[in-house]
Each structure stands twice: as C-alpha cells, then as structure tokens.
Chain A
Amino acid sequence: ETGVTQSPTHLIKTRGQQVTLRCSSQSGHNTVSWYQQALGQGPQFIFQYYREEENGRGNFPPRFSGLQFPNYSSELNVNALELDDSALYLCASSSGGGAKNIQYFGAGTRLSVL
C-alpha cells in the first residue's frame, strides 16, 4: 500500500452537477498530482500542486480546479459535469514533480456522470 488515500471510492453524478474529490498524500510528500484515466487509456495529467500552489496544468478546462492544504492533502473540483468526465480519477503524491520523482498513487475515485 502506498499510504495515499482517496475518497470517495465511487461516485455517481448527473450532468451539470459539481463534484469534489479528496486525496491524502503519503507522509513526507509535498507534491500532489491529479490524473484522469478513461477506460482503456493511460492516466492523463490534470494538474499538480506543490506546497499549496498549482505547479503545472495539463490540457483540461478551467472547470477542473484544485486545492492543496497545509498538510499537503488535496481536493479536485469539477464544475458543470459532462458525460465525458466519467473516468477513474487518480491522485499521486511525490517528493517533487516530473519523471525523476516516483509517483505514489491512490486507488482512485470512479466517477460516473449520467
């Protein structure tokens, strides 16, 4: 187990609603990255937080936003949900960004948008 926990594990929402996903990072890690993984695809980078600041963003619209707290836990918020937002949302903690740092993933939150 990585020590990264995500909640909830499953979530069902309807189109147009808003959702908040939560992630507790591994002890000692100051960086949290969020990924979206559609069925049969690899994880797609949404954004990364380092010491409470957004530190890089992927190709996702502004309705995807996040926060990192002083204890380095993090939230992912998605507004105006669309059907295509249905996916596994993964949180990963690390001791820095980029491929030189190992990412420790949580088990993910499965979001279904109806």
Chain B
Amino acid sequence: SQKIEQNSEALNIQEGKTATLTCNYTNYSPAYLQWYRQDPGRGPVFLLLIRENEKEKRKERLKVTFDTTLKQSLFHITASQPADSATYLCALDMANDYKLSFGAGTTVTVRA
C-alpha cells in the first residue's frame, strides 16, 4: 500500500544550526510535493511546493529537494531560530487525484 514516512523522532537543535527533515514515500511517483508548518492548536500553513521536474526549491532560509529516484524529499531550515519551532508536514497526492495525503509530521525544537 502507499505510505508517507517522516522522521519518527522529534528534532532538537541549537539556534543557528541547520535542521534537515526527511519525507519518504512508497509505491507512487507524485507530480507535486508540498511542505507545511503547523503550530500547536492551529491549522497547517503552506511553506513550499516542488514539482517532480524540480530538484530543489528555496524560500528565504528554507530549502526543499525532491529525489524521484529515491522517492524522498528533504526539507532544510538553515540558520534556525527558536521561532522555527513547530511541526513540519509533507504532503503529496498518492494517486494523481484530488486527495492530498500527509505524513505524520516531524516536530522541531530550536534551543536558544
């Protein structure tokens, strides 16, 4: 069956370091992959979208890569700040239909 897996462990990093999160998927080749940020008790907020023919996408301190051979996306937060502490979710369409499937998320805590 189709699965989306994100880092199972929470990530604790020192301010100023780079956080790297993984999103692995199986049994399908999505055309698009998205990353969202979710704060406790709030809805997810869109961060970045990457297409299958794009290897890398950047937005300010954020960088996303998309490796369709490895079936993996990496999400990087460079020069991390305590305000970056949140849960980060990857999302993709597992069957090229209208259903958006989310991973379970990775919780990042940035220590000052």
Among the listed stretches A14-22, A62-70, A73-81, A98-106, which one makes contact with chain B, having 4 or more residues with CB under 8 Å of it? Answer: A98-106
A56 sits at the interface (CB 8 A)? yes
Complex CA gap A40/B92 in Å reads 19
Produce 1/0 per residue, B3-44, CB < 8 A to A.
010000000000000000000000000111110100001111
Number of A-B contacts (CB under 8 A): 79
A113 sits at the interface (CB 8 A)? no
- Chain A binding surface, main DSSP class: loop
Complex CA gap A97/B89 in Å reads 18
Complex CA gap A100/B43 in Å reads 19
Find out whether the CB atom of A104 lies under 8 angstroms from the CB atom of B46: yes
Find out whether the CB atom of A97 lies under 8 angstroms from the CB atom of B98: yes
Given contacts A45-B101, A107-B42, A107-B43, contact A98 B34 (CB under 8 A): no
Q: Which B34-81 residues have a C-beta within 8 angstroms of A?
A: 34, 36, 41-46, 49
Q: Which residues of B contact A106 (CB under 8 A)?
A: 43
Complex CA gap A103/B38 in Å reads 13
Find out whether the CB atom of B99 lies under 8 angstroms from the CB atom of A103: no
Find out whether the CB atom of B93 lies under 8 angstroms from the CB atom of A2: no
Residue among B43, B46, B100 making CB contact with A98, cutoff 8 Å: B100
Q: Which residues of A contact B (CB under 8 A)?
A: 2, 4, 33, 35, 40-45, 48, 50, 55-56, 58, 90, 92, 97-100, 102-108, 110
